[in-house]
Structure 1
């Protein structure tokens, strides 16, 4: 069974500090739901929280969607945080605005359209940096972070961000926790990915703790190695 000291084994081997790697961390209920009653809060346990903390220590930046930081009421993080937002309509009362460094990744049109000016000035007045992602694709968002010197990117979702990143073949390593529970309050199951190509991952490590929580680490199978 897993203990707190086993977190390094769940994180596994990492690349050198200057090398680029995108990891995602997610949790599912027993039959694949990403949340319960609209949030992932009821899922997981202390081991899962320790895994997330360990991955945040590994990361240069946390990548997360605006919907997730709002629904999960994200607090500040010691690691720089990059929030994906098309509208720029973020509640500046959220704890993320107390982070040492907060970047808001937004399409170029949101930075030049005059109608967005009120939504640009509010977060910047609270210290956030607005970063253009061109057309707004997840690929351009990751490229923008790399251009800023962030090599180790931790994607924390939500489901639409996971789907976009997997469809774009951007996730190198996926840390998936399976909470062995189910409820009538479970949210939608599965990801709404795009395209017909199959994205395949190979199981690299699995561990189980005293709560029967299962921690899986999958590594992306390169396109040329897929069936």
Structure 2
């Protein structure tokens, strides 16, 4: 993996772990919501219904690093189901990094689900080190909320008819989960954009042309465009790993 931007000041060998960590470090002085996606060159977010066909070792290395640096992993219920999410394992993050930063062993998964559609026997509940957080709203069936709570989930109610994402993010901050690593899907990402909650986008461009009818990385109601600034570019295995931060006034 090589860094293209900002330019390397040494020979372009494999970027050291410490430099990669510094590249993706969260700001120390404020809460931060980062979203991480992979896309084909022609804009597809999945291949045969999953993002796995777009990924590569370098992309998975960065995803593991982002999880290692995050207090919580935020994901939509649909993506969690399609991608077969389970709890984050200690072997899937850099334990020495989390220990050095004074963080718990692994970050919890926070699943956004308006209807509390996660099943009590989901791997997110049965195959995890820490309980997941289920982010839902008041209109979700009380019986489903109770079933997930009984199964060990931390049920966070934000909003009445739909999930109030600004309120949910604030509630995560109040739990001490200030560094949020978002992993999709497109509907959740679109809602986060609409609510102006995205501080940073990490986008891997996979060197594939896929065609077909796969969706884009975000969709939802049209909004005023949000300006972003290029922060870093990494290159590996014909992938481009782009990092954009929001423009602030």
TM category, shorter: 0.7 to 0.9
The one of 111, 115, 118 equivalent to 1:87 is 115
**Counterpart position of 2:233:** 206
Where does residue 135 of structure 2 map in the other structure?
105
The answer to whether the 8 A contact 2:204-2:239 is kept is yes
Asked if structure 2 preserves the Cα contact closer than 8 Å seen for 1:104 and 1:131, the reply is yes
What is the distance in 2 between the residues matched to 1:213 and 1:186? Answer: 22
Distance 2:182 2:74 in 1: 5
Check 1:159–1:10 CA distance in 2 against 1; reply closer, same or farther (3 A cut).
farther
Secondary structure of residue in 2 paired with 1:42: helix
Residues 190, 158 of structure 1: alpha-carbon distance in 2 compared, 3 angstrom cutoff: closer
Equivalent position to 2:49, from 38, 45, 48? 38
For 1:3-39, what per-residue CA distance to the aligned partner results, in whole angstroms no more than 9, with x for missing partners? Answer: 47357168434312x6311111011011111111221
TM score, norm. by length of structure 1: 0.87
Identify if the C-alpha distance between structure 1 residues 12 and 121 changes in structure 2 by more than 3 Å, giving closer, same or farther.
closer
Q: Which residue of 2 aligns with 1:162?
A: 189
Deviation digits for residues 156-194 of structure 1, max 9, x if unmatched?
110011111112211111110000102244612353243
Decide whether the 8 Å contact of 1:166 with 1:193 is kept in 2.
no
Task: Tell me which residue corresponds to 2:176.
Answer: 149
Cα distance in 1 between the residues matched to 2:217 and 2:85: 23
CA deviation profile, 1:84-131 (whole Å, cap 9, x unmatched): 011112133332113212110111232xxxxx2331232222210111
* Mapped pair 1:133 → 2:158: yes
Q: CA RMSD in A?
A: 2.0
Question: What does residue 205 of structure 2 align with?
Answer: 178
Any idea what the Cα deviations from partners look like across 1:177-225, whole Å, max 9, x if unmatched?
A: 000102244612353243441111111110110x201100001012x3x
Say which SS state the counterpart of residue 199 (structure 1) adopts.
Answer: coil
Alpha-carbon distance in structure 2 between the residues aligned to 1:167 and 1:10: 29
What TM-score do you get using the length of structure 2 for normalisation?
A: 0.80
Whole-angstrom CA distance in 1 between matches of 2:22 and 2:211: 30
| Aligned counterpart in structure 1 of residue 147 of structure 2, from 110, 122, 139 | 122
Aligned to 1:57: 68
Alignment gaps of 5+ in structure 1: 111-115
SS for the counterpart of 1:108 is coil
- Provide runs of 4+ in structure 1 moved above 4 Å: none
Q: How many residues align?
A: 216
Tell me whether 1:188 sits opposite 2:215 in the alignment: yes
